Amino acid sequence: MDSTFGIVFGALFISNIVLSQFLGLCSFLGVSKNMRNALGMSAAVAFVMIMASTISWFLYHSFLLPFGLAYLKTIVFILAIASLVQLLEMFMKKHSPGLHKAMGVFLPLITTNCAILGIALINVQKEYSLFDATVNSVSTALGYTLALVVFSCIRERLDEADLPESMKNLPIALITASCMSISLLGLSGMH
């Protein structure tokens, strides 16, 4: 069993959901062109990731395991995440239209973000307690935010760089993301 510090450090750096496990790459590459979008997506993903992983943990331990239906976890988790995002969107639209408008396109994008499903499955696979699953979810959300914000800062600088035409946009973004991923590889022996 991992210590709380081990879970936090591992989720932030060693097993970073984007840079080490390569989950959530669509939003990582798609919204990282400017800091505002990166922060908006990070906040939305963090909130939904924490909520969805907690709900998934309860569903798994309260219904799926006791009734011998653990093999349905992926389908149940997908439905739980989609339902959560839909309920959240309806709630925000009714009670906080300003926040709903600010979130804009980020909420529908979260439904298909594989990092959210990934963390719910990882928490179950590692047999974390509710506390450890929550710590892992919060740390993973922070790791996602860290990766996205750093990547966004680098991409904003790269937009101003004098690059060959063939390297602009996605090619240099992929090279940059791979360099960021490699930079965390040195920490993998610490886990």
What is the structure's pLDDT at 189? 67
DSSP string over the chain: ---HHHHHHIIIIIT-TTTTT--SHHHHHHSTTSHHHHHHHHHHHHHHHHHHHHHHHHHIIIIITTTT-GGGHHHHHHHHHHHHHHHHHHHHHHH-HHHHHHHTTHHHHHHT-HHHHHHHHHHHHTT--HHHHHHHHHHHHHHHHHHHHHHHHHHHHHHHS---GGGTTHHHHHHHHHHHHHHHHTTGGG-
CB 77 within 8 A of CB 14: no
pTM: 0.88
Interval 116-163: pLDDT, tens: 999 999 999 999 999 999 999 999 999 999 999 999 999 999 988 888
pLDDT one digit per residue (tens) for the chain, 191 residues: 579 999 999 999 999 999 999 998 888 888 888 888 888 888 888 989 999 999 999 999 999 999 999 999 999 999 999 999 888 888 888 887 877 777 666 777 787 889 999 999 999 999 999 999 999 999 999 999 999 999 999 999 998 888 899 988 889 999 999 999 998 887 776 65
